[in-house]
Chains A and B, each alone.
Chain A
Amino acid sequence: MEEEVKLHGMWASPFSRRVELALKLKAIPYQYIEEDLSNKTPSLLRYNPVHKKVPVLVHNDKPVAESMVIIEYMDETWENNPFLPRDPYERAMARFYAKFIDDKLLPTLAKLGQTAGKEKEETIEEIHEQQKVLEDELKGKQFFGGQRIGYLDIVAMILVWLHLTGSITGQKVLSTEKFPLIYEWIERVMKMEVVNECLIPEEKRQDWIQLAQRAPKSASN
Chain B
Amino acid sequence: MGDEDVVLLDFWPSPFGMRVRIALAEKEIKYEYKEEDLRNKSDLLLKMNPVHKKIPVLIYNGKPVCESLIQVQYIDEILPHKSPLLPTDPYQRAIARFWGDFVDNKIYDLGRKLWTTKGEEQEAAKKEFIECLKLLEGELGNKAYFGGENLGYVDVVLVPFYSWFYAYEKCGNFSIETECPKLIAWAKRCMEKDTVSKSLPDQDKIYDFVLHLKKVFGIE
Distance in Å: Cβ of A49 to nearest Cβ of chain B: 9
Q: Do B65 and A64 touch (CB < 8 A)?
A: no
Stretch of A35-43, A93-101, A112-120, A202-210 on the interface side:
A93-101
Once the chains bind, are A76 and B73 in contact (CB under 8 Å)?
no
Interface of B is mostly: helix
Shortest A97–chain B CB gap in Å is 9
Q: A92-B65, A96-B70, A99-B67 are in contact. Are A133 and B93 (CB under 8 A)?
A: no
Closest to A86 in B: B77
Q: Does B63 reach chain A (CB closer than 8 Å)? A: yes
The DSSP consensus for interface residues of chain A is helix
Cβ-defined partner of A72 (8 Å) among B63, B78, B93: B93
Q: Render B64-90 as a binary contact track against A, CB cut-off 8 A, 1 for contact.
A: 011100110110011000000000001
Within 8 A of A (CB), among B74-126: 74, 77-78, 90-91, 93-94, 97-98, 101-102
Residue in A closest to B79 when the chains form the complex, CB atoms: A88
Q: Are B94 and A64 in contact (CB under 8 A)?
A: yes
Q: Does B1 have its Cβ within 8 Å of any Cβ on chain A?
A: no
> What is the 8 Å Cβ interface bit string for chain A, positions 63-78, against chain B (1 contact, 0 not)?
0111011101100110
Measured CB to CB, the nearest residue on chain B to A100 is: B51
Interchain CB contact (< 8 A) of A92 among B73, B94, B97, B101: B73
User: Looking at chain A, what size class is its interface with the partner chain?
Assistant: 20 to 34
A73 partner residues in chain B, CB cutoff 8 A: 90-91, 93-94
Residue of A nearest to B78 (CB): A88
Task: Output the residue of B51, B63, B78, B135 with the most chain A CB within 10 A.
Answer: B51
Chain B residue nearest to A94 (CB atoms) is B70
Q: Which residue of B lies closest to A95 (CB)?
A: B70
The answer to whether A66 and B93 touch (CB under 8 A), given A50-B135, A89-B74, A91-B77, is no
Partner of B67, one of A64, A70, A91, A96: A96
Range, interface on chain B:
20 to 34
Q: Nearest chain-B residue to A99 (Cβ)?
A: B67
Q: How far, in angstroms, from A95 to B65 measured CA to CA in the complex? A: 10
Which residue of B is nearest A93, CB measured?
B65
Closest B residue, CB atoms, query A72 = B97
What B residues does A64 contact at CB under 8 A?
Answer: 91, 94, 98
User: How far, in angstroms, from A14 to B78 measured CA to CA in the complex?
Assistant: 32
Interface contact A50-B102, CB-CB below 8 Å: yes
A72 to B90, CA, bound (A): 9
Nearest-neighbour CB distance to chain B for A41, whole angstroms, equals 20
Interface assignment of B33: CB less than 8 Å from any CB of chain A: no
Is A188 in contact with chain B by the CB < 8 A criterion? no
Q: Does chain A have a CB within 8 A of B60? A: yes
Chain A residues with Cβ under 8 A from B67's Cβ? 95-96, 99
Instruction: Name which residue of chain B comes closest to A88, CB basis.
Output: B77
Contact B51 A133, beta carbon cutoff 8 Å: yes
Contact flag A66-B60 (CB < 8 Å), given A72-B93, A91-B74, A96-B67: no
Contacts of B70 in A (CB 8 A): 92, 95-96, 99
- Within 8 Å CB of A100, what residues of B? 51
Chain A residue, CB-CB nearest to B88? A76
From B74, B102, B135, residue with most partner A Cβ within 10 Å: B74
Q: Determine the chain B residues whose CB is within 8 A of the CB of A77 once the complex forms.
A: 90-91
CA distance A70 to B94 in the complex (A): 7
In this assembly, does A62 line the interface, its C-beta being within 8 Å of a C-beta of chain B?
A: yes
Residue from the list A50, A72, A95, A99 in contact with B94, Cβ < 8 A: A72
Q: Which residues of B contact A133 (CB under 8 A)?
A: 51
| Interface 0/1 of B43-75, CB less than 8 Å to A | 000000001000000001001011100110110
B residues in contact (CB < 8 Å) with A = 51, 60, 63, 65-67, 70-71, 73-74, 77-78, 90-91, 93-94, 97-98, 101-102, 135
Give 8 A-B pairs besides A64-B91, A76-B90, A91-B73 with Cβ atoms closer than 8 angstroms. Answer: A66-B98, A72-B93, A73-B94, A91-B74, A92-B71, A92-B73, A95-B70, A96-B66
9 CB contacts below 8 A, A to B, read A59-B91, A64-B94, A64-B98, A68-B97, A70-B94, A88-B77, A88-B78, A89-B60, A95-B73
